[in-house]
Amino acid sequence: MATPASTRRGTRRRAGSRERNQTLWFWVFVGPFAAGLVLFTYVPLAWSVWLSFFDARNTVSPTRFVGFGNYATVLGDAAFRDALGTFTVFTAFIVPATYVLSLALALAVGRLRRARAFFRSVFFLPTACSYVVAALIWKLSLFNGVRFGLANTVLGWFGADQVAWLSTTDPPWYWLVLVTVRLWLQTGFYMVLFLAGLQRVPPLLYEAAAVDGARPGWQTFRHITFPALRATSVAVVLLLVINAFQAFDEFYNLLSDARGYPPYARPPLVYLYYTALGQGQDFGVGSAGAVVLALIIAVATVAQARWFGLGRKEG
């Protein structure tokens, strides 16, 4: 029996009304967040790129068009090149250390049969701490350079001399402070990523390895666990390098008031902070430096993704 035309029209109207209601509620929930993203992220980014082509001192309004003059100033500044060198040294320390430590913690926590959730929460908890607060704790309590500091107190138990941890002269002990505070803050987060990757490893692989005579421990880890964590490892390394580029709080709060603060102890973001918000307040050059840094991060990320074959289908 054929369906009446009026019934079909009524069905189409109800379907159309339902779709309009879904669209309306979608924008009700998503609209405020999308507007905030555009207003507070995309608009400032576009304005920063626009401002980088103008002379803008002590103002965020462009005054005189200078083309790529600001970019030439940034790239020709030895302090900016030293800042990139600082990033390279910091990355060489923090990326391998965080990777190894977070993977080791993930393997240890993953093997626990009891209190696994407790230890996972304990190691992840520092992630919720502010970088500024952690830097001040490291500076004022752990590595403050006086005999009452925790590090120097421990050294005193073994008869060692006190160490000026945050001195910018040789030996550069401040690198130990910078690396340890970043390790404490971020290792738990990457441990959780590795734990998620470990849960995706099929148990049948371990059973097959045991049947083939693989010993539990290093052999199983080398031939089963580590290759299975390839995608997680690539993501972790990419995030670590990007976060190293964004290092600011620990450098600024630990070393900003050190006497004789050398340029090579400043990462790129600290250099840009002093350029744009220092005495000169050169927002044009600061914006050009921000664009250059963003391009470096993008190129480095794409290069790493290509090198590790991220997204490539395995045969």
**Which candidate, 23, 63, 36, 255, places its Cα nearest to that of 143?**
255
Q: pTM of this prediction? A: 0.79
Tell me the one-letter amino acid at 265. A
> What is the per-residue pLDDT for 258?
47
Q: Return mean pLDDT, the chain.
A: 82
Mind listing the pLDDT tens digit for each residue in 195-216?
998 888 887 877 777 777 767 7
Domain ranges, ordered by start, for the chain: 73-308
Three-state DSSP class for 55?
Answer: strand
Task: Please say whether the beta carbons of 222 and 136 come within 8 A.
Answer: no
* Average pLDDT estimate for 265-276: 80
Q: How far apart are CA 79 and CA 141, in angstroms?
A: 31
Nearest to 262 by CA among 184, 188, 182, 170: 170
Q: What is the dihedral of CA 177, 180, 184, 185, to 10 degrees?
A: 60
Q: Is the predicted pLDDT of residue 219 greater than 60, yes or no?
A: yes
Distance set, CA 56 to CA 40, 51, 74, 287 (Å): 21, 7, 14, 10
Distance CA 106, CA 124 (A): 11
pLDDT band at 25 (very low <50, low <70, confident <90, very high): confident
pLDDT(260) > 50: no
When pLDDT is cut at 50, 70 and 90, the band that residue 9 belongs to is low
Query: Percent of the chain beyond pLDDT 90?
Result: 12
- H/E stretch holding 194 reads helix 174-199
CA dist list (Å): 96 to 86, 90, 285: 16, 11, 33
Q: Quick check: 137 and 185 in contact, CB under 8 A? A: no
Q: What CATH class has 73-308?
A: mainly alpha
pLDDT band at 15; cut points 50, 70, 90:
low
At residue 98 the predicted structure's pLDDT band, cuts being 50, 70 and 90, is very high
